[in-house]
Chains A and B, each alone.
Chain A
Amino acid sequence: MEAFGLLLHGFAVLLTWKTLVLMMVGLVLGIFVGVLPGLGGPNGVAILLPLTFTMDPTSAIVMLSCIYWGALFGGAITSILFNIPGEAWSVATTFDGYPMAQQGRAAEALTAAFTSSFIGSLVAVLLITFLAPMISSFALKFGPPEFFAVYLLTFCSFVGLGREAKHKTVISMSLGLLLAGIGMDTVSGNLRMTFGSPELLRGINFLVAVIGLFGISEILLTMEERLALRGHAASISLRVVLGVWKDLPKYWTTLLRSSFIGCWLGITPGGAIAASFMGYNLAKRFAKDPESFGKGRIEGVFAPETAAHASGTSALLPMLALGIPGSGTAAILLGGLMVWGLNPGPLLFVEHKDFVWGLIASMYLGNVVGLVLVLTTVPIFASILRVPFAAVAPMIVVSCAIGAYAIQNAMFDIWLMLGFGIVGYVFKKIGIPLAPFTLALVLGNRAEDAFRLSMIGSGGDLKVFWSNGLVGSITTLAIVLLFWPVVDRILTRLRMKRAKATPLQV
């Protein structure tokens, strides 16, 4: 029960006026970002990151993570009321949420969405509270080979388990790792890939790339769409809320199943998008009357929202315990940690107790406060959509520019941001995934250092990655995952052969 005591300590860190105010500001900004078209969780966090540069790390992470919770809540508002998913992981919510709104049950659908988001995050936070300290204390025994094996596992599982074309994931990842290597080599002090340019000497800043990739490119993509919308913003009465909550126990299997799927896909790099669809499809498959889905069934809102939020939250677990982010947003938060002068990894739990437990406590509190906030203020946030995009777009561009410049006070970074904006736009349109690129960019240097240190330790013998049971099994697992599609095909074929060999006995 050591975790419980530390958690209480975390709440004590949190309960100051300053932190609570920052939390509210973060949540409001986050919902704002979630509701606006052309902005989402990762973009919002990336753009607002510079605001936190002068804060102490604990206040900074509390505010940023609250922006993230807020964005998760906000995405549901537009999906249900206007059939416009603010985020890719809200797409599944529109299947039943929008029909409910059309039937005049918008308040009910919104309550269901917010409540299930809350439940999903809560399950994931509980998991983080008890699992993260254990994993990190285990990981304290890791040497460079173990760390490299874990990085390898992360990269390989992206390639093997991702839904995109494999070569596109490989391209995206190797490009990210290469760009991370530009500039001064940390081990030898040599310059690499700078081509004599003094601007490239500092390397390519991760956050500048992220602001371009997610912020600028998203504006370009949004402009391609028709931006018209029509809908009703319903305010939620207490009676509706209590009515939905009273029925919650009836849906406990759906909620539990979705939470489990979400947590699993959040920790492995499956992501919130996959989780929300899987949650929805499984709820449909296990239902007695699957054909009623898509016509305004409340379970169709519960299932994807719970899964998406459980996944979004549990993506922070590997980031906190191992320093490996489980999602794009977690990668940006990790970038933030480095800016505030913290070294991500298992030592975080030992060296920065206040920070870690303050963050975990803020996940609990942020979700409760967020739930109350969205339930009471839906009409206000929905009316933000009345602001024309022609006013919102240039403001987002300005915010991106401020964010990109503030990181290193360099004009070069503004141009870099613009360049990454074009790259992000083109990549998204031809299906090269951006999440592996982001992850590779933030982990590149650490992965390389781990590799070189283990090579120096072993005298250049690759067998070091199989030198003991732990590192050996992680490395082997990584390679199996890399070739997972091939392994999967062979297994299926074997099974088919066996099925043919033993004819059906009917």
Chain B
Amino acid sequence: MSQTDLEIVVDDPTAPEDDSPSVVSSVTIEIFVCLLLLALAVTLGYDNWRTGASWDSTGPEPGYFPFYLSVILGGGSLYGLIVALLARRAAFGTFVTRAQARRVMAVFVPTLLFCLVMQFLGLYVASFLLISGFMRFVGKIALWKSLLTALVFTAIMFVTFDVAFDVIMPKGPLEAAFGR
């Protein structure tokens, strides 16, 4: 190996354990998804039928094409539902283990909060909070590193989108205070 070699090691201390118990099996989720899709197909199909799904003097009515698509979607999900109900449970694996679910929630909940906060404080403040908070509390990274990274990234985004490319983002009281 030459001297220019560079060893890269990244650890993942909070990685999900392999033997974590299953929260829910894939077959349960498949049944659930098929039921949801079936309900969606019925709702959309009804709405299109109401709009008009037959032919008039000018050709097919607006609901014609989507009506038959809802029929196809309904048929597909009904078939999927039957397959999932008849299948042996063992043939399907685990949908998500408890450890995995915890990690997925660790991203999803902050993302949800970020979207909520964005409506009140604007995108840039929300980004700063999301990045610094996530790095500090989920990633257990030093506070100064988290704050600095969040500040630099948010600033770069602001300059790129708001100043250079004129792409307008939701803004809140902080930007208003600076008159932007």
Contacts and interface: CB of A to CB of B under 8 A. Distances in A.
A393 B134 contact: yes
B8 A391 contact: no
A216 B111 CA distance: 9
B131 A174 contact: no
Given A185-B62, A391-B135, A429-B26, A227 B83 contact: no
A361 to B, nearest CB: 25
A168 B77 CA distance: 8
A82 B7 CA distance: 11
Interface in A396-452: 397-399, 401-402, 405-406, 409, 411, 414-415, 418, 421, 425-427, 429-430, 432, 448, 451-452
B95 A429 contact: yes
Interface residues of B, number: 80
B99 to A, nearest CB: 9
A167 B12 CA distance: 38
A235 B4 contact: yes
Nearest to A453: B59
B48 A192 contact: yes
Contacts of A82: 8
A174 B73 contact: yes
Given A167-B80, A224-B16, A406-B169, A460 B9 contact: no
A388 B10 contact: yes
B131 A395 contact: yes
Given A227-B10, A391-B141, A192 B107 contact: no
Interface in A215-264: 216, 219-220, 223-235, 237
Nearest to A411: B119
B8 A224 contact: no
A393 B115 CA distance: 15
A228 B15 contact: yes
A178 B115 contact: no
B135 A390 contact: yes
A457 B37 CA distance: 34
A171 B35 CA distance: 12
Contacts of A402: 123, 157, 161, 167, 169
A402 B158 CA distance: 10
Contact of B161 (A170, A406, A418): A406
B138 to A, nearest CB: 5
A432 B84 CA distance: 13
Contact of A398 (B12, B58, B131): B131
Q: Main secondary structure on chain A at its contact with chain B?
A: helix
B168 interface: yes
A228 B131 contact: no
A165 B26 CA distance: 15
A395 B154 CA distance: 9
B115 A174 contact: no
Contacts of B100: 223-224
B112 interface: yes
Contact of A178 (B70, B95, B127): B70
A190 interface: yes
A382 interface: yes
B165 interface: yes
B63 A226 contact: no
B29 A429 contact: yes
Interface of B: 1-2, 4-12, 15-16, 26, 29-30, 33, 37, 40, 44, 47-48, 51, 55, 58-66, 69-70, 72-73, 75-77, 79-80, 83, 95-96, 100, 103-104, 106-108, 110-112, 114-115, 118-119, 123, 127, 130-131, 134-135, 138-141, 149, 153-154, 157, 160-161, 165-170
Pairs of residues from A and B, 4 with the lowest C-beta to C-beta distance, nearest first: A390-B139, A456-B59, A226-B15, A174-B73
Given A228-B11, A230-B9, A232-B5, 8 more contacts: A174-B70, A219-B107, A220-B108, A230-B7, A379-B4, A393-B134, A421-B111, A452-B60
